[in-house]
Amino acid sequence: MKKRMLFFLLTALFIVAIGPVSLADEGMYPISELHKLNLKAKGLEMDLKDLYNPNGVSLMDGICKVGGATGSFVSADGLILTNHHVAYGGVSRASSEEHDYLQNGFLAKDRSGEIQARGYTVRITESYKDVSKQVLKAVKKEMSAAERTKAIEQKIKEIEADAEKKYEGKSAQVSEMFRGKTYVLFIYTTLRDIRLVYVPPRAIGNFGGEEDNWMWPRHTGDFSYLRAYVAPDGSSAGYSEDNVPYHPKSHLKVAPDGVNEGDFVFILGYPGRTYRHQTSHYLEYEETYRMPFVADYYEWQITALEDLGKDDRGIALKLASRIKGLSNTMKNYRGKLQGMRRMHLVEKKRDEERKLQQYIDADNKRREKYGSLLAELNNLYTKSMADFESDMVLSYLPRSSSLLSTASTLYTASLELKKDDMERQSGFMERNWNRTKQGMLRGTGEFYEPSDRLIFEDILLRAARLPADQRLEAVTEIVGDGDPAEAVHLFVDHVYSSSKLADRDALEAALEDPAAWVESSDDPFLKLARELYPVFEARREENRERSGEMDKLYAELLDVKREFMATDFIPDANSTLRFTFGRIKGYSPRDAVYCDPLTTVNGVLEKTTGEEPFDTPQKLQDLIRKKDFGRFAHPELKTVPTAILYDMDTTGGNSGSPVLNARGELVGINFDRAWEATINDYAWSPDYSRSIAVDIRYVLWVTQKFAGAGYLLTEMGVEE
């Protein structure tokens, strides 16, 4: 009896500590889970089958993945709404000193004026199927952890290749849902001709810049319009003048009247990664080691790259996208670190694990099966913490220089292309090789030697300064007995001055036949790539071993957690289509501070200083002052709302996701989280987890009044 009481008490405590998914609004639900949510009772005012219908057309067909983020179709002619920061790479690639679209914005007067967003693809989820059994069948009891990982990788490649044969013209991808446990095959339509339609100027699209990033209240017009094109026969094709606008199966209806505080809202999108099922050991590794290292490292890179471009707009444009990405991650990590400390996350997790361990130990059978689980995970992470510094340096080294990574890919290709298709690493399989080559060729357009060598020289020097027993032989050879800084500098001088890999034609020729190129080339980056290859192969194998062990342990951990909490979980985000719901809601980030959930254009004026990043265009200021709001003024506020705040569960990758009202109409475009919600990746909090969208009224008002592109409103079916 006593034992039972203890069990119930512990269970109750555990549930209070973590909160089972069904009680809170936490959750990035896979589409397969929607029917369990009783959404009508929560506030949804549409039939579930209109939201998602595997046997017909539904709202979900209007959602797309734009690169690593999200967007939605808003017209029958393939018009896409997403964020300014999602389109940023395409805009900076299309920009030059004469046509500075990043600074001034871009507007196509008609379809013929829409220009290519180079490097962009758009994906639409067509269907999904659980293939866990098929994948796990490949695993045999006697396999080592590394063999297990390899067998799973192999099986996944087979499933994907088979599916692509079966669904011609589609792309297939198997995604791991629960670590080491469940796998889902997704079939996607991939569109490859994406164009810019309207992009507001920087001073609107990135208003507030890095100062306001990850902050509330917000006044950024973080939106852009793109359009997807296909071949005249409707099939997916690369850019061509003959291509025609894509007709999505369904597109979203835009709600020009927006939303209000308290309204039910939901998001469909492609959240990137969360780590909520990871243990305290992982969190400790993140908090104490990885994140502080990366935040400092990126901060150094940002300063160095900004310095390179400070007197030359052409160079600044080349580096803009990279700097933006680095700054975004750096500030996000700083926010997370603060949040982790403030919420005592590691301690909380440890506490949960102690209770779980007590539950495991309370029963002999359970102890036998799961008794050492947490200790084994702890051991694996402790090893990572011990090797942390060399681990970080070595993981950044191969990608620090684009020339080194080009040489490494060519060298790997020379070996992989000789193998049977199914035996190759995924990027070298027939179905992917062309894409790999295109990506490399595109990279030559973005190459800028001074920045490339600066980053390379720094990491090489860090590698040279590692303790002798952790240093790579190739690096020791470069340094010799001399001063590391001097030796590295001379070496970098030599490799950059004699390599041809930055030259597009030379690279194109090498890609024709990588084996022949490797045979005949004396490129210095090839020499280095060749020397590093066995080291990085060995690391890959070690990682396989480690991740195989972890997969197994995490799969068991999930089993026992499920048993203990008598509840089900949802998988961590993994860049697959997810649903989350909540309400338009303010919050109290600090003692005595309360933030409203709606901002307005009045705040744009308040923040405007005339200096970047608060340099609102004069025309926009005039429109606000004249109160020329058209139909987009909020009836009570008498002004145009700019951004909305809500308690939905989002993370990176949800950028550009449509925020939809109870009837499934578009009321905003998600673009950020509040500072305290950077912690979402590890834990969700009803008090702090707030995400941010640009209000649809601001999007439409800027499009109509500022850009003079009323024809886009007409295309979306919005009456002016």
Binding residues for ligand ASP, rule: CB under 6 A, are 328, 650-652, 654-655, 671-673
Residues 6+ apart with CB under 8 A from 112: none
Of residues 151 and 573, the one with the C-beta less far from ligand ASP: 573
CB atoms inside a 10 Å sphere around CB 668: 30
> 265: which strand partners?
582, 661
Nearer to ligand ASP, 152 or 648 (CB): 648
Nearer to ligand ASP, 291 or 623 (CB): 291
Nearer to ligand ASP by C-beta: 517 or 671?
A: 671
One of 171, 224, 521, 655 is an active-site residue; which one? 655
Our answer to whether residue 219 is catalytic in this structure is no
- Minimum CB–partner distance for residue 182 and ligand ASP (Å): 25
Please tell me which residue in 61, 75, 85, 672 is annotated as part of the active site. 85
User: What is the rounded distance in angstroms from the CA atom of residue 577 to the CA atom of residue 582?
Assistant: 17
Of 215, 80, 60, give the one whose Cα is nearest residue 699: 80
Q: Token match 């009045």: residue?
A: 602
Which ranges of 112-266 would DSSP assign to H, the alpha helix?
A: 132-137, 145-166, 202-205, 209-212
CA distance 506 to 52: 49
Taking the complex as a whole, how short is the minimal distance between the CB of residue 320 and ligand ASP, in angstroms?
A: 15
In this structure, how many other beta carbons lie within 10 angstroms of the beta carbon of residue 283?
21
Task: Give the separation between CA 399 and CA 403, rounded to whole angstroms.
Answer: 9
CB of 44 to ligand ASP, least distance (A): 23
User: Catalytic residue at 695?
Assistant: no
- C-alpha 189/C-alpha 124 separation (Å) is 5
* CA distances for 181 relative to 141, 206, 649, angstroms: 15, 41, 24
Question: Using an 8 Å Cβ cutoff, are 191 and 246 in contact?
Answer: yes
Contact 571, 177 (CB under 8 A): yes
Amino acid in the structure at residue 26 = E
Length of the chain: 720
Cβ 673 to ligand ASP shortest distance, Å: 4
Close Cβ partners of 160 (under 8 Å, ≥ 6 residues apart): 172, 173, 174, 185, 431
Residue 573 Cβ vs ligand ASP, minimum distance, rounded to whole Å: 11
Secondary structure (DSSP) of 43-88: T--S-HHHH--TTS--GGGGEEEETTEEEEE-STT-EEEE-HHHHH
Do the beta carbons of residue 203 and residue 607 sit within 8 Å?
no
In angstroms, what is the minimal distance from the CB of 36 to ligand ASP? 25
Measured CA to CA, the distance from residue 44 to residue 42 in angstroms comes to 6
Residue for token pair 């909090």: 685
What is the rounded distance in angstroms from the CA atom of residue 591 to the CA atom of residue 569? Answer: 33
Name the token pair of 642. Answer: 């700019």
Select 86 or 305, whichever has its Cβ closest to ligand ASP: 86
d(CA 431, CA 164): 9
Q: How many degrees, rounded to 5, is the angle at CA 681 between CA 272 and CA 372?
A: 110
> Which residue number, 163 or 345, has a Cβ lying nearer to ligand ASP?
345
List helix spans (H) across 99-192. Answer: 101-104, 132-137, 145-166
- CA-based nearest residue to 100, from 314, 306, 319, 309: 314
Tell me if 221 sits within 8 A of 237, measured CB to CB.
Answer: no
CB of 211 to ligand ASP, least distance (A): 14
Active-site residue, 390 included: no
Q: Which of 222, 523, 649, 672 is catalytic?
A: 222
Q: Which one, 183 or 671, has the nearer CB to ligand ASP?
A: 671
Task: Kindly state the smallest distance separating residue 224's Cβ from ligand ASP, in Å.
Answer: 14
Distances (CA, A) of 224 to 185, 361, 602: 31, 55, 22
Residue 386 is encoded by which pair of tokens? 């011990």
Which one, 278 or 678, has the nearer CB to ligand ASP? Answer: 678
Q: How far is the CB of 646 from ligand ASP (least distance, A)?
A: 12
Q: For ligand ASP, give the closer residue by CB, 274 or 401.
A: 274
**Residue linked to tokens 């996701």:** 657
Q: Which is nearer to ligand ASP, 325 or 710 (CB)?
A: 325
In angstroms, give the least distance from the CB of 587 to ligand ASP: 15
Smallest CA-to-CA distance from 536 within 488, 473, 454 is with 473
Q: How far is the CB of 692 from ligand ASP (least distance, A)?
A: 8
Dist CA 99 CA 202 (whole Å)? 13
Separation between Cα atoms, residue 716 and residue 718, nearest integer Å: 6
Q: Write down the least CB distance from residue 648 to ligand ASP, Å.
A: 10
For residues 256 and 271, which CB has a smaller minimum distance to ligand ASP in the complex?
Answer: 271
Is residue 592 within 8 Å of 268, Cβ to Cβ? no
Nearer to ligand ASP, 122 or 529 (CB): 122
Instruction: List the beta bridge partners of residue 583.
Output: 264
Question: Sign of torsion, CA 23 27 32 34?
Answer: positive
Closest C-alpha among 604, 572, 583 to residue 683: 572
Residue type, 118: R
d(CA 89, CA 224): 12
Tell me the closest approach of the beta carbon of residue 670 to ligand ASP, in angstroms.
7
Residue whose CB is less far from ligand ASP, 279 or 655: 655
| Residues taking part in catalysis | 85, 222, 655
